[in-house]
């Protein structure tokens, strides 16, 4: 994959950054493989009859990764206040790319000029100006991940290189333009039913811009996977039905799934041309 520019969820606005951030951070809710909204750190929620107030009840077993930004280096439990701070941070255009997504948050006199509040450690409340049926889906975006206030205070501008989250993997090493190394979070809160996730002990993401080189390294066994159809020569690897060519059937496993992505075409209209 191409290089990552940063691991601060507030500025995760491209595919590469989002992929890395997704391994390190969690939000209130998440999408399943069918792109349906499901609980994450919020174990349940309810919406007011007028559609303007969202109340989230948080799990009590979610902890931030151990990091030197905490007292004694031990990660603490996530609270609703952390979400208030994380969401308010998105209004800072110096660090966030999500300002436009907050336009429907009600920070008027009606809500005490607070669009987000925590009534206690486990209750987080969001106020909207107008009902928005897609609001829960918006919250699955990585911008809305929870971070500990201690981390940006401790690292300052270097927070983008020193992520501290709650996700299945924790940060170990990042050589910009070369590789990112993440280690298993032994305290991760999600299970597959009976086994604690994740299954892998570590993940190494290599940044290889040339797709032919990346594909050859996959063939040679250096890499375990390539992500995305643009990571290889589609006409060489796949047939017209989108299945593996016969010569690759015994070498690779092809996985297909729904993918949420928006592309657009911009047309420049200039009357002087």
Whichever domain contains 137, its CATH number is 3.90.76.10
Residue 201, domain member (yes or no)? no
Residue 239, domain member (yes or no)? no
Burial class for 77, CB neighbours closer than 10 Å (0-12, 13-18, 19+)? middle
Distances (CA, A) of 256 to 20, 84, 165: 20, 37, 28
Contact 208, 225 (CB under 8 A): no
The reported pTM is 0.86
Block mean pLDDT (10 aa), the chain, length 273? 83 89 97 93 98 98 97 97 97 91 96 95 98 97 97 94 97 90 96 94 87 82 78 82 88 80 82 68
Residue 252, domain member (yes or no)? no
Beta bridge partner(s), residue 202: 183
Cβ-Cβ contacts under 8 Å for 103 (sequence gap 6 or more): none
Residue 46, domain member (yes or no)? yes
Beta bridge partner(s), residue 169: 184
Residue 17, domain member (yes or no)? yes
Residue 261, domain member (yes or no)? no
Residue 97, domain member (yes or no)? yes
Residue 121, domain member (yes or no)? yes
How far, in Å, CA of 3 to CA of 208, rounded?
8
Contact 65, 75 (CB under 8 A): yes
Number of folded domains that form the chain: 1
State which residues form the domain around 66.
Answer: 9-161
């Amino acid at each position: 994959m191409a290089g990552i520019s940063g691991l601060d969820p507030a500025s995760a606005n491209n595919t590469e950054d989002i992929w890395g951030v997704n391994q390190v951070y969690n939000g209130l809710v998440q999408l399943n493989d069918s792109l349906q909204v499901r609980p994450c750190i919020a174990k349940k929620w309810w919406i007011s009859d007028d559609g303007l107030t969202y109340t989230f009840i948080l799990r009590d077993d979610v902890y931030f990764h151990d990091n030197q930004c905490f007292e004694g280096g031990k990660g603490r439990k996530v609270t609703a206040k952390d979400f208030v701070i994380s969401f308010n941070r998105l209004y800072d255009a110096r660090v966030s790319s999500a300002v436009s997504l907050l336009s429907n948050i009600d920070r008027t006199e009606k809500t005490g000029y607070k669009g987000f509040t925590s009534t206690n450690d486990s209750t987080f409340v969001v106020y909207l100006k107008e009902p928005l049926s897609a609001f829960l889906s918006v919250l699955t975006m990585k911008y809305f991940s929870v971070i500990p206030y201690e981390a940006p205070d401790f690292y300052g501008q270097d927070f983008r290189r020193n992520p501290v989250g709650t996700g299945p993997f924790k940060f170990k090493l990042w050589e910009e333009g070369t590789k990112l190394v993440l280690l298993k979070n032994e305290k991760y809160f999600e299970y597959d039913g009976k086994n604690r996730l994740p299954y892998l002990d570590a993940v190494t993401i290599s940044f290889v811009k040339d797709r032919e080189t990346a594909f050859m390294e996959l063939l040679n066994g250096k890499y375990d996977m390539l992500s995305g159809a643009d990571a290889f020569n589609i006409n060489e690897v796949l047939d017209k039905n989108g299945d593996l060519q016969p010569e690759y059937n015994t070498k690779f496993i092809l996985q297909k799934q729904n993918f949420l992505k928006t592309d657009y075409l911009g047309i420049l209209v200039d009357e002087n041309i």
